[in-house]
Amino acid sequence: MALTIELSAVVVTVKDNEAFVLCRNLPRHAPNDPAHALPSGLFVPRSQRTFDLALRAFVREQTGFDIGYVEQLYSFGDLDRETVLPEAQGADHIVSIGYLALTANRDFQARFDASWVPFKAFFPWEDWRGDINPVKGLRKCLDAWCQDGDDRVTRQRRVETLFPEDFDHWNEERVLDRYELLYSAGLIGEARRVKGDGSPDAPTGQPMASDHRRIAATGLSRLRGKLKYRPVIFELMPERFTLLELQRSLEALSGVKLHKQNFRRALERTGFVQPLGVMRDDTGGRPAELYRYDREQFRFSPSLGLSLPRA
């Protein structure tokens, strides 16, 4: 059986206190067809020297954006996985290698057939920054699923662990685990597409083509975990920023509100930011001082990220 390798990119940026993922816009022939897919392409060893270079070329060709920071995620090779690439139709077995890419690009003008889509459009249950509990509606559907099977106790334990109604027990890093549970429960549009059953009324956001929402969930999980042990947030920040902009960007990515004073105390201990002695007066309130990321400091603390003390 011939193996075909596909490369897919979860390209992330932050704008106006919201985290976005770069998507290809797909033609929709029916109302339930997915509207978005991740930038992706086939790897051809004879014409592409490395995965990294091939991925960057795909993203640039399909979306018009040049990506910066890139790291490999996982391989996705389920036998029943589909492809959105016409040139791969009919392939025996397609394995997709997912990548996480970060960019501070603030050019949000639509180019080619691509757009920036908020993560919460695909994962609405992951954003706890508002006043409404984002898992409340899902819990009703999940609790009903727990009662419909012989493994009720195991199911309920998984639900209580991954979708606690109490925010104090919420683990923001387990995005992929939550997506997989919703898939198993038939509450995700992609599960209904493959299995032909499930609940169409669950508030589980927009589906994506193929298994691209699963790849996106993997990327968001990796990024949320990495924020705490490497200063990757600065790959998403402009050269000059206020501390409030930095906090809001971290909140947008993690989906949780942060305690302002505790966050700033922890940030000061890292030494990662330096004040510029320049004030911004377009903040809508008091003028705020501008800072920059001190990349030299990273040489002394390569494994240190930022603390995310919850409000």
The pLDDT score that the predictor gives to residue 158 is: 96
The pLDDT score that the predictor gives to residue 283 is: 67
Digitized pLDDT (tens) for each residue of the chain, 311 residues in all: 567 888 999 999 999 999 999 999 998 877 778 899 999 988 887 777 889 999 999 888 888 888 888 999 988 877 666 666 656 565 667 788 999 999 987 665 555 788 999 999 999 999 999 999 999 989 999 999 998 878 899 999 999 999 998 899 999 999 999 999 999 999 998 887 755 555 556 788 999 998 999 999 999 999 999 999 999 999 999 999 999 999 999 999 999 999 999 999 999 988 899 999 998 777 667 888 999 999 887 776 666 788 899 99
| C-beta neighbour count of 311 within 10 angstroms | 11
Characterize the bridge pairing of strands 114-118 and 40-42. unpaired
Residue 8, CA distances (Å) to 56, 62, 71, 82, 298 in order: 10, 12, 12, 13, 29
Integer Cα distance of 23 and 13 in angstroms: 12
The pLDDT score that the predictor gives to residue 101 is: 95
**Long-range CB contacts for residues 43-49, cutoff 8 Å, separation at least 24:** 43/5, 43/6, 43/7, 43/97
Q: What is the DSSP letter of 258?
A: B
Q: Which of 242, 232, 237, 239 is nearest to 308 (CA)?
A: 232
Residue 173 tokens read as 């890093």
Residue 207, CA distances (Å) to 44, 59, 267, 270, 272 in order: 29, 21, 37, 39, 38
Contact in structure between 57 and 16 (CB atoms under 8 Å): no
DSSP per residue over 17-38, as a string?
TEEEEEEEE---SSTTS--EE-
For the chain, list the domains and their CATH numbers: 3-119+208-226 (3.90.79.10), 124-195 (no CATH), 240-298 (1.10.10.10)
Residue 244 tokens read as 């409030």
**Long-range CB contacts for residues 282-289, cutoff 8 Å, separation at least 24:** 283/242, 283/244, 288/242, 288/243, 288/244, 289/242, 289/243
What amino acid occupies position 211? Answer: D
The pLDDT score that the predictor gives to residue 4 is: 83
